Chain A
Amino acid sequence: MKIVVCVKQVPDTKGGVKFNPDGTLNRAAMLTIMNPDDKAGLEAALRLKDQYGAEVTVLTMGLPKADEVLREAMAMGADKGILVTDRVLGGADTWATSTTIAGAIRNLDYDLIITGRQAIDGDTAQVGPQIAEHLGLPVISYAQDIKVEGDSVIVQRQYEDRYHEVKAKMPCLVTALSELNDPRYMTPGGIWDAFDKEVTVWGRADLKDVDDSDLGLKGSPTKIAKASDKVPKGAGEMLAGDSPEDLVNALVGKFKEKHII
């Protein structure tokens, strides 16, 4: 069984989000991590590897320094890492990104592709399903559990109040939620091995069946007008009262005051 896991190096939002004067993200000023949903997807793949002896390839698109997340994935147990990096791929939105990644995956043998649901920097949840569309594969999104049975996957697809169990024949693509599992730590020896191994680096020329007009900034239909940090919430107000009735009346009064009701 061969599994491709797509991962993204994202800013660690725990340390706060930093912007350039032009409103774009200042990625250099922020610490980076492996996107949490992707890490859960990787863990799911590694558990399938533990169980069935699958070969796990991790793939990322990004700046040359994005090889860090590939090394991290290899230190956790992934077998191979592929970095897709090229100046002409810069500034890609979800369409251009998914086109690029699909072009890279066309070079690989796979039974299952796992991506994270969404990345914490863009929060679009579009790239995984778009890759499946480009490759003509079935997609099951929002996986809270993944099992393999014969040549099929059985996935619990999460909804707000329930889950659907969906079975699909492989090859297919699954997008993983961070709630799927607790990813394992790296091991010290795994880290050393990861730095002894080569990361495969691909550029534009290595992408299969893609058109230049679908790549990079000029292939991106999305135009970002402005990005900004979250507006801090106000301090809030505590209502005190002797009975539930008093409190409800006070609350309704506040709503009326603010013309909410």
Chain B
Amino acid sequence: MDFSLDKKHEMARSLFKEFAENEVKPLAQEVDETEVFPQGTVDKMAKYGFMGIPVPKEYGGQGCDPLTYAMCVEELSKVCGTTGVIVSAHTSLCIDPIMTYGSEEQKQKYVVPLAKGEKLGAFGLTEPGAGTDAQGCQTKAVLDGDNWVLNGSKCFITNGKVADVYIVIAITSITEDKRGRKKKNFSAFIVEKGDPGFSFGTKEKKMGIRGSSTYELIFEDCVIPKDRLLGPEGKGFPIAMHTLDGGRIGIAAQALGIAEGALERTIAYTKERKQFGRTIAQQQNTQFKLADMAARVEAAQMLVYKAAMAKATQKVYSVEAAKAKLFAAETAMAVTTECVQLFGGYGYIREYDVERMMRDAKITEIYEGTSEVQRMVISGALLR
């Protein structure tokens, strides 16, 4: 077993790191402060192929593996959690299901411009009454001649208003089982910005990742052509769950990056900050905390990379993705909280990156499956 990255991945990491330092880091504080979507950064990422890293070249992508993609999200998130999630939601939640379940026509029409970064993607599953209980969705789609007509709404949608292509999960039929229990059958659809009857609700004001565009999607007799059905009718729920398995690797990478970024800054700070006549890095309390954090961050990295490798080689990787997301997200929260503590009063001031990172970390324990959901997935496999 070899835990070292090969030269190809090392070089990819150096690229992502250099890009993040030069192009993303200088804007991170402003993006958080102003809550403005960093379109300029997204344009630059598109130019250099960051919006389609794991997509085959024949579909406009870079032809790299999920590990390279995870490292990209990790390095971006080290300096800006907002930028990390933009790439993650676009790649894992929009491109990936079209690549996996789409027809050749759908791949050509949607994946090519998405992977080139000419278009941005989003994914709508969550509804006001359906979070962890995703089966509680109410949005419906009815076939009317050659069109599907969607009604309902989706909330907390990342890349909400800035995206061009949306994967939307809706109920297409309700059937009864032998005992007379009603069962909702979901299907997945591709919705485009500008489709009639598709509009946006309010922009959410968030605790963290404040530059990401989080909106409510509203469907009022939204008419889309019949060929926008993604995958077989009635298979929307497994498509959504499989999509989230991949998405969790992206969010785990984001969480990992946030933890690493906070730890890096804290190590530098503790070597400069003096109290009682010596740096706080010279005090054993600091040393032990840094050691604990470093061990935990590296463990998170191993789980994230293992899950990314599993996505490349296995058909099913739900448990690997759940473990990576659970551990990386809780690591991000614990590490950023401890980093703020080590910064003392300065850590509570918005001028210092660790304050933002602690706010950004929290969402990684919540979206794309809460930590509780990840525990359900992991224990479900243990007790099967």
| Cross-chain contact A191 with B15 (CB below 8 angstroms) | yes
User: Is the CB of A150 closer than 8 A to any CB of chain B?
Assistant: no
Q: Residue on A with the closest CB to B62?
A: A189
| Cross-chain contact A191 with B11 (CB below 8 angstroms) | yes
Residues of the A chain whose Cβ atoms lie less than 8 Å from the Cβ of B12: 188, 191
User: Is the CB of A75 closer than 8 A to any CB of chain B?
Assistant: yes
Instruction: List 14 contacting pairs A-B, 8 Å CB cutoff, sorted by A.
Output: A75-B15, A184-B48, A187-B62, A188-B12, A188-B50, A188-B53, A188-B62, A188-B72, A189-B49, A189-B61, A189-B62, A191-B8, A192-B62, A195-B11
User: Is the CB of B238 closer than 8 A to any CB of chain A?
Assistant: no
Residues of the B chain whose Cβ atoms lie less than 8 Å from the Cβ of A188: 12, 15, 48-50, 53, 62, 64, 68, 72
Task: Please give 7 more A-B residue pairs, beta carbons under 8 A apart, in addition to A185-B15, A187-B15, A187-B48.
Answer: A71-B7, A187-B49, A188-B15, A189-B57, A189-B61, A191-B15, A195-B11
Residues of the A chain whose Cβ atoms lie less than 8 Å from the Cβ of B48: 184-188
| Cross-chain contact B49 with A71 (CB below 8 angstroms) | no
Nearest CB in chain B: distance from A186 CB, A: 5
Q: Residue on B with the closest CB to A184?
A: B48
Seen from chain B, the residues whose Cβ lies within 8 Å of a Cβ on chain A are 7-8, 11-12, 15, 18-19, 48-50, 53, 57, 61-64, 68, 72
Residues of the B chain whose Cβ atoms lie less than 8 Å from the Cβ of A184: 48
Interface string of A170-193 (1 = CB under 8 A from B): 000000000000001111111110
How far is B12's CA from A238's CA once the two chains are assembled, in angstroms?
Answer: 46
Residues of the A chain whose Cβ atoms lie less than 8 Å from the Cβ of B63: 189, 192
Q: Residue on B with the closest CB to A186?
A: B15
Q: Residue on A with the closest CB to B57?
A: A189
Question: Restricting to A49-76, which residues have a CB under 8 Å from any CB of B?
Answer: 68, 71-72, 75
Residues of the A chain whose Cβ atoms lie less than 8 Å from the Cβ of B72: 188
Nearest CB in chain B: distance from A46 CB, A: 14
How far is B68's CA from A34's CA once the two chains are assembled, in angstroms?
Answer: 22
Seen from chain A, the residues whose Cβ lies within 8 Å of a Cβ on chain B are 68, 71-72, 75, 184-192, 194-195
How far is B62's CA from A189's CA once the two chains are assembled, in angstroms?
Answer: 4
Main secondary structure of the interface of A (DSSP, over half): helix
How far is B49's CA from A185's CA once the two chains are assembled, in angstroms?
Answer: 10
Residues of the B chain whose Cβ atoms lie less than 8 Å from the Cβ of A187: 15, 48-49, 62
Contacts A72-B11, A191-B8, A195-B7 given; does A185 touch B68 at CB 8 Å = no
How far is B15's CA from A195's CA once the two chains are assembled, in angstroms?
Answer: 15
| Cross-chain contact A185 with B18 (CB below 8 angstroms) | yes
How far is B48's CA from A187's CA once the two chains are assembled, in angstroms?
Answer: 5
How far is B50's CA from A185's CA once the two chains are assembled, in angstroms?
Answer: 11
Nearest CB in chain A: distance from B175 CB, A: 45
| Cross-chain contact B11 with A71 (CB below 8 angstroms) | yes
Most buried by B among A68, A184, A189: A189
Q: Residue on A with the closest CB to B49?
A: A187
Nearest CB in chain B: distance from A135 CB, A: 32
How far is B50's CA from A190's CA once the two chains are assembled, in angstroms?
Answer: 12
| Cross-chain contact B61 with A75 (CB below 8 angstroms) | no
| Cross-chain contact A185 with B8 (CB below 8 angstroms) | no
The residue that B19 contacts in the complex, of A185, A190, A191, with Cβ under 8 A, is: A185
How far is B12's CA from A72's CA once the two chains are assembled, in angstroms?
Answer: 10
How far is B71's CA from A191's CA once the two chains are assembled, in angstroms?
Answer: 14
How far is B53's CA from A72's CA once the two chains are assembled, in angstroms?
Answer: 18
Nearest CB in chain B: distance from A220 CB, A: 31
Residues of the A chain whose Cβ atoms lie less than 8 Å from the Cβ of B15: 75, 185-188, 191
Q: Residue on B with the closest CB to A72?
A: B11
How far is B48's CA from A186's CA once the two chains are assembled, in angstroms?
Answer: 7
| Cross-chain contact A192 with B49 (CB below 8 angstroms) | no
How far is B50's CA from A192's CA once the two chains are assembled, in angstroms?
Answer: 13
Nearest CB in chain A: distance from B335 CB, A: 26
Nearest CB in chain B: distance from A67 CB, A: 9
How far is B10's CA from A194's CA once the two chains are assembled, in angstroms?
Answer: 13
How far is B8's CA from A68's CA once the two chains are assembled, in angstroms?
Answer: 10
How far is B6's CA from A194's CA once the two chains are assembled, in angstroms?
Answer: 13
| Cross-chain contact B11 with A189 (CB below 8 angstroms) | no
Contacts A75-B11, A195-B8 given; does A189 touch B64 at CB 8 Å = yes
Nearest CB in chain A: distance from B117 CB, A: 11
How far is B14's CA from A72's CA once the two chains are assembled, in angstroms?
Answer: 10
Residues of the A chain whose Cβ atoms lie less than 8 Å from the Cβ of B64: 188-189, 191-192
| Cross-chain contact A186 with B11 (CB below 8 angstroms) | yes
Nearest CB in chain A: distance from B250 CB, A: 15
Nearest CB in chain A: distance from B49 CB, A: 4
Nearest CB in chain B: distance from A37 CB, A: 18
Nearest CB in chain A: distance from B116 CB, A: 11
Nearest CB in chain A: distance from B26 CB, A: 15
Nearest CB in chain B: distance from A74 CB, A: 11
Q: Residue on B with the closest CB to A189?
A: B62
